[in-house]
Chain A
């Protein structure tokens, strides 16, 4: 198509003839969502071969379109059957750390409890920071053919920004401050992943799963209504991230069963050789100790706190194995790493 001077003499207008399949999506109960427009030749089922240009799925290829660098060519590499629903859910369930947390109800806590909460928040605001970088790192490799997966990841980046900010806000809102950096949290592993599915199983399923199990114990960890609400709201977001990961893993195992051993291999590395608790490691002493104080209700009740901490670990590991089972990796139970194995419930 030639460049045209802006007069009718050079008109092209051939693009007017491209529409062979009229699309008239109508809004459903939740408005006009991605599900309603996932139709005909525009739907994910009609995805053709990969495309290294910026062409969104269903748009007509432009002759001469340039490539933008390598990205995943096969749908299974990034797809999750629930990403369409999860993106829309994310848009419906955005919340505001500024307004949706009852900050004015925060009450002064005994010094050690405030310090323990601030230490936990210091670790979490660090972890959540990486949780935004990691999907960011992979966005350029997600083809616009699978744009719903990309939209979901971009909603996750927003969610993680909110988590990063809400834990910082909590640390600085009740007479405390940030405390010790949570180095050694195993976060490098997430950045080191060299495959999308590797990243997803390590981050979405394992790390965010562990964080989720912890947030779900937020009623026990949080000392104030505001704290509990922070954990509840964040858990709502994490459940989407987890759901994406579990269903992505399932999609890979269903469509590319030959990758099973490779995926186990990533988990062998993450659980096995390292003795720690995986990414977002709660066994890091400042985190472990602050959790024991919060769960016990004070440093004098450290032993009670320790029992609850062990319960938390047990929950983390068993929920993790359950999620893997849902994804089709139930055999993980037999080969889980030693520090995890001690917590596994008998079937």
Chain B
């Protein structure tokens, strides 16, 4: 017995869904035709496929009277999309990358994307569709060319906190040092998790035209998720624990963003200063594990900054009339981050680590000031690379630079 026969047998007086009846009426199926198909041993599934395939009432009736089966026409085989694509890995080391797919029309990343559905870029649109509710349809808002290679690099360079860090090598530290490490980890864990959750929430806003950017953002989200748990693991692995939660001023400013340019520019401020922190992690690290941890995070965060710089540059080039407006978002981000930096629970642990202990905290504070200067300098340099020259840098940050 074939599956369809078995199905038909199992199907005691099947209830016919209203949607199927409505569709049948629309196609001119007379009343009772569905029932007579079922009675002849066709499954409801087959009837439904015929309806979805737009088999008319006449065709169905003829077929049920012993006539020719209506064969599917495979219309989708003939849609006028670009055919004959044989993408090959341009860099055999990296493998077949998403960049290798951007050939012919598939590589057209339009300045404005008009389709409001979730259609895959390059496929053939249905004539009538529901709006999926995306809000970002303009390339200049989100795009940077580097997101295409960065996606594959992020995948190549992924790491695993559980096994790629030498947990067994941890040795007890002096209490003040361990607690300082734990406080830094607590703060960074909050910040990383928050950034991941925030960026995740923006994904449904971005239309399919900018697919590669969304793929890249997915790697960023996964990266910061890993940072959040790796920092937490470090805090709980060496006799310490979690300390006080991170200050909320800066993060709230990112949460408050009303548009993607605002969001991403506010994030720029922290993405840049955190990259400097992690890149110089050996200044704060107390052991090999922490050195490795900071170095791995820095590598991940470098990709985010590469994107940040290129996106901003591209955006300003496309929207010179909105250049001044961007200052408002940087003002806000800088202001809130500078406020976070005045918090003793943010400063003191770093100063203890830089100074080498609580007893040496004055020395540590001096070093921290010098380090803040480096962070601000790197940040200003990153903005300049994006052709954005801050004329009104936040006063607190400017003070560090003046040191």
Instruction: Using CB atoms and an 8 Å cutoff, list the residues of chain A in contact with chain B.
Output: 1-4, 6-8, 10-13, 15-16, 18-27, 30-34, 37, 39, 42, 53-56, 58-62, 64-66, 68-69, 87-88, 91-92, 94, 96-99, 101, 103, 112, 115, 119, 122, 125-126, 129-130, 132-137, 139-140, 142, 144, 147, 150-151, 153-155, 157-158, 160-162, 164-165, 168-169, 171-181, 183-184, 187-188, 191, 272-276, 283-286, 288-290, 293, 299, 302, 306-308, 310-311, 313-314, 337-339, 341-344, 346
B150 interfacial by beta-carbon distance below 8 Å: no
Closest to B106 in A: A172
B95 interfacial by beta-carbon distance below 8 Å: yes
List the B side residues contacting A96 at CB < 8 Å: 95, 152, 155-156
Q: Is B179's CB under 8 angstroms from A16's CB?
A: yes
Q: Is A151's CB under 8 angstroms from B228's CB?
A: yes
Interface pairs (29), CB distance under 8 Å: A3-B339, A4-B348, A8-B361, A15-B179, A15-B349, A25-B233, A27-B167, A56-B232, A65-B247, A98-B156, A99-B156, A136-B204, A136-B221, A144-B194, A157-B200, A157-B221, A168-B211, A175-B84, A179-B123, A180-B126, A181-B117, A181-B126, A181-B129, A285-B76, A310-B7, A310-B45, A337-B17, A341-B15, A342-B7
Beyond A54-B248, A285-B72, is A68–B255 a contact (Cβ under 8 Å)? yes
Query: Residue A306 contacts which of B4, B194, B229, B252 (CB distance < 8 angstroms)?
Result: B4
List the A side residues contacting B126 at CB < 8 Å: 180-181, 183-184
B236 interfacial by beta-carbon distance below 8 Å: yes
User: Known pairs A54-B248, A341-B15. 14 more at Cβ < 8 A?
Assistant: A6-B366, A7-B365, A13-B348, A23-B239, A24-B238, A25-B233, A31-B167, A58-B241, A60-B244, A98-B95, A98-B152, A136-B202, A150-B197, A168-B101
Q: Is B229's CB under 8 angstroms from A151's CB?
A: yes
Minimum CB–CB distance for B245 against chain A, Å:
4
Cα A98 to Cα B95 in complex, Å, equals 4
Cα A218 to Cα B83 in complex, Å, equals 24
Q: Is A179's CB under 8 angstroms from B79's CB?
A: yes
B43 interfacial by beta-carbon distance below 8 Å: yes
Q: Is A341's CB under 8 angstroms from B14's CB?
A: yes
Cα A174 to Cα B155 in complex, Å, equals 23
Scoring A6, A302, A307, A310 by chain B CB atoms within 10 A of each residue's CB, the highest score goes to: A6
Beyond A42-B236, A60-B243, A112-B77, is A302–B200 a contact (Cβ under 8 Å)? no
List the A side residues contacting B241 at CB < 8 Å: 18-23, 42, 58
Query: Residue B248 contacts which of A12, A65, A147, A289 (CB distance < 8 angstroms)?
Result: A65
Top-3 shortest CB links A-B? A98-B95, A31-B162, A136-B203
Q: Which of B181-189, B267-275, B278-286, B306-314 contacts A (4 or more CB under 8 A)?
A: B181-189
List the A side residues contacting B44 at CB < 8 Å: 338-339, 342
Minimum CB–CB distance for B55 against chain A, Å:
10
List the A side residues contacting B186 at CB < 8 Å: 56, 59
List the A side residues contacting B141 at CB < 8 Å: none
Q: Is B243's CB under 8 angstroms from A98's CB?
A: no
Q: Is A13's CB under 8 angstroms from B155's CB?
A: no
B98 interfacial by beta-carbon distance below 8 Å: yes
Cα A66 to Cα B179 in complex, Å, equals 25
Beyond A37-B233, A283-B52, is A56–B244 a contact (Cβ under 8 Å)? no
Q: Is A276's CB under 8 angstroms from B19's CB?
A: yes
Cα A275 to Cα B18 in complex, Å, equals 8
Q: Is A178's CB under 8 angstroms from B201's CB?
A: no
B36 interfacial by beta-carbon distance below 8 Å: no
Q: Is B248's CB under 8 angstroms from A62's CB?
A: yes
B196 interfacial by beta-carbon distance below 8 Å: yes
User: What per-residue 1/0 map shows which CB atoms of B257-295 lie under 8 Å from chain A?
Assistant: 000000000000000000000000000000000000000
Scoring A16, A26, A142, A276 by chain B CB atoms within 10 A of each residue's CB, the highest score goes to: A16
Beyond A168-B101, A177-B122, is A15–B345 a contact (Cβ under 8 Å)? yes
Minimum CB–CB distance for A52 against chain B, Å:
11
Beyond A7-B362, A56-B242, A175-B86, is A165–B237 a contact (Cβ under 8 Å)? no
Cα A179 to Cα B77 in complex, Å, equals 7
List the B side residues contacting A341 at CB < 8 Å: 11, 14-15
Beyond A25-B236, A115-B77, A139-B201, is A168–B85 a contact (Cβ under 8 Å)? no
Closest to A10 in B: B344
Cα A62 to Cα B251 in complex, Å, equals 14
CB contact list, B208-264 vs A, under 8 A: 208, 211, 214-215, 218-219, 221-222, 224-226, 228-229, 232-233, 235-249, 251-252, 255
Beyond A11-B348, A178-B122, is A55–B190 a contact (Cβ under 8 Å)? yes
Query: Residue A299 contacts which of B74, B75, B98 (CB distance < 8 angstroms)?
Result: B74
Q: Is B193's CB under 8 angstroms from A150's CB?
A: yes
Cα A30 to Cα B164 in complex, Å, equals 11
Cα A272 to Cα B160 in complex, Å, equals 43
B114 interfacial by beta-carbon distance below 8 Å: no
List the B side residues contacting A184 at CB < 8 Å: 126, 129
B343 interfacial by beta-carbon distance below 8 Å: yes
List the A side residues contacting B237 at CB < 8 Å: 23-26, 32, 37
Cα A158 to Cα B199 in complex, Å, equals 13
Minimum CB–CB distance for A285 against chain B, Å:
5
Q: Is A179's CB under 8 angstroms from B17's CB?
A: no
Q: Is B95's CB under 8 angstroms from A13's CB?
A: no
User: What per-residue 1/0 map shows which CB atoms of B290-307 lie under 8 Å from chain A?
Assistant: 000000000000000000
B198 interfacial by beta-carbon distance below 8 Å: yes
Q: Is A68's CB under 8 angstroms from B53's CB?
A: no
Q: Is B193's CB under 8 angstroms from A147's CB?
A: yes
Cα A249 to Cα B221 in complex, Å, equals 25
B332 interfacial by beta-carbon distance below 8 Å: no
Scoring A15, A191, A283 by chain B CB atoms within 10 A of each residue's CB, the highest score goes to: A15
Q: Is A307's CB under 8 angstroms from B45's CB?
A: no
Q: Is A172's CB under 8 angstroms from B101's CB?
A: yes
Minimum CB–CB distance for A255 against chain B, Å:
24
Cα A274 to Cα B162 in complex, Å, equals 45
Q: Is B19's CB under 8 angstroms from A283's CB?
A: no
Query: Residue A56 contacts which of B129, B189, B202 (CB distance < 8 angstroms)?
Result: B189
B112 interfacial by beta-carbon distance below 8 Å: no
Cα A115 to Cα B79 in complex, Å, equals 11
Beyond A11-B344, A96-B95, is A187–B118 a contact (Cβ under 8 Å)? yes
Cα A16 to Cα B186 in complex, Å, equals 13
Beyond A15-B244, A23-B240, A158-B219, is A130–B118 a contact (Cβ under 8 Å)? yes
Q: Is B117's CB under 8 angstroms from A183's CB?
A: yes
Beyond A42-B242, A274-B19, is A191–B133 a contact (Cβ under 8 Å)? yes
Beyond A24-B238, A54-B193, A94-B155, is A168–B49 a contact (Cβ under 8 Å)? no
List the B side residues contacting A58 at CB < 8 Å: 241-242
Minimum CB–CB distance for A155 against chain B, Å:
6
Minimum CB–CB distance for B401 against chain A, Å:
15
